[in-house]
Amino acid sequence: MGQYLSKKTKRKLSLGYILFFLFIAWYIQDTNKILQNNITQNQINLVISDYNFYNKFYIKSNKNKQDILIQNHNYINNEELIKEYSSSTPFIVDSKLKKTPKYNLTIKFYDKNKRHSIEIENKISLLKDKSYIYNSKDSYIELFGKVSNDGYVRIIKQLEKSTRIKNILNDNVLKIFFIGFVNILIFLYMLTLFDEHEKNKIQMYNEYNQLSKDAQEIAMVDTLTGAATRVKFNNDLNDLIQLASRFKEQTFTFMILDIDNFKNVNDTHGHDYGDIVLKDVAKTIKKHIRKTDYFYRWGGEEFVILMPMNNLKKSIDYSNILREKISKIEFKKIKQITCSFGLVEYQSKDDETTIIKRADKFLYEAKKNGKNRVEY
């Protein structure tokens, strides 16, 4: 895949993919950050809620001032919490045991009339006019607040991943995986589209070249006889004249020939057989001209031969040989086919028009003087 893409296109595509990937990475990081902040804030809100519940529970139960441990449950309302914990004996925290609390929420009461550690005294000083202060750590959240008029409470909540948090994280992982998977599919699909586009371009280019080549062949080659057309003749004649006008040794001869009595062939045997005659005459001419000569179908039953680097004397002999070869072609429906020739050599004052007129004049004389002859 991608073998039809240009280097420039691949660079642009790769850069676009990298930018898109960076955007996805940024989005994932930002989403995770927001999620973690939401989770942390949610836990902080729960600790604050536990603090408020504890205040009400403390006043309602009127228990002794002890260190208590409460399991963190979700309650429908405050009354449900108060009802449950008023009817049960709180767990006593043994300060001598250096063990991790069994439950994820620890609540400890501090009497304001007693002396406390420097750490607690510092926290009390930070309270001032506030009801509570809290501090969020990676593994726990700590809240320190006032309790009625009796003292202070310290709530420590371990940040364990709840089932809900796990589900959120799992959902986020699935989203990340889905986004990455879709991203890869889109990138592969884009590569396929670009590849198909390049293939289509190459195919269209090849087809265009082939059509151009076919059109050029149609324009330059006569489909019936295989001789070149007058379009190519005009270009070649102009080139030969340009060379001959500059260099004397580049002279050339112009030969025009016409099949004698060709109208009778068409009238007697039909145009299809006339085409057979044209093909056989053209085949004979192409077989006996030099590789350096140019052969054209002039129109109808007329043909033209341009002979570069050839003078009139040599061309006369050559024309008579060619005339005899044509007269010896064997046909099934007709006895013989002959041709009349008009032959000229390039002159210094010649242009495309004058050299054609001179050759055509000699062809007319050949017809007038009995046909099957060469005039020059």
d(Cα 76, Cα 302) in Å, to the nearest integer? Answer: 111
**Annotation marks residue 301 as catalytic:** yes
Select which of 196, 207, 249, 301 is catalytic.
Answer: 301
- 326, 280 contact by CB (below 8 A): no
Q: Whats the size of the chain, residue-wise? A: 376
d(Cα 289, Cα 305) in Å, to the nearest integer? Answer: 9
Quick one: which of 237, 249, 255 has its CA closest to 350? 237
Question: What are the catalytic residues?
Answer: 301
